[in-house]
Amino acid sequence: MRFPPHLTRIGSAAALLSALLVGGTVSATPAAAAVGSICQSALPSQAHDTLDLIEQGGPFPFEQDGTVFQNREAILPSQSTGYYHEYTVITPGSDTRGARRIVTGEEPQEDYYTADHYASFDLIDYGC
């Protein structure tokens, strides 16, 4: 069961208060990670290439490009299945797809960049 973000924060605060009162410890979980932000100009050149391909509708270098991103890590805002799609950002020198991706949402310019295979995400800021 997924909880809205504000309920997750309340649950985290309750866990912290409980740990402090009882003398326990608290650890951060990946699901508690926040989405950061990155200026479009700060992206690697290969990410710009991927964004251009997305804009053009392909062709894409890997058959997995354009497939539904499941958001199993629950870092991106919770949406219905099919809302997000993923695309490979080429990693120079890599024989595989590497760890870098662009994940797009349905809203215009709702594009996220990850350099660490979904461990963290940055919303791409097109205004800087």
* Residues 110 and 118: beta-carbon distance below 8 Å: no
CB 87 within 8 A of CB 79: no
Active-site residue (options: 55, 73, 86, 106): 86
Closest C-alpha among 81, 127, 84 to residue 102: 84
Angle (nearest 5°) at CA 126 between 92 and 107? 100
Rounded distance, CA 33 to CA 35, Å? 7
**Could you confirm whether 6 is annotated as catalytic?**
no
- Catalytic site includes residue 48: no
From the candidates 6, 63, 106, 117, which is the catalytic residue? Answer: 117
Q: CB–CB of 87/66 below 8 Å?
A: yes
Residue linked to tokens 């995400």: 121
What positions carry a catalytic annotation? Answer: 86, 117
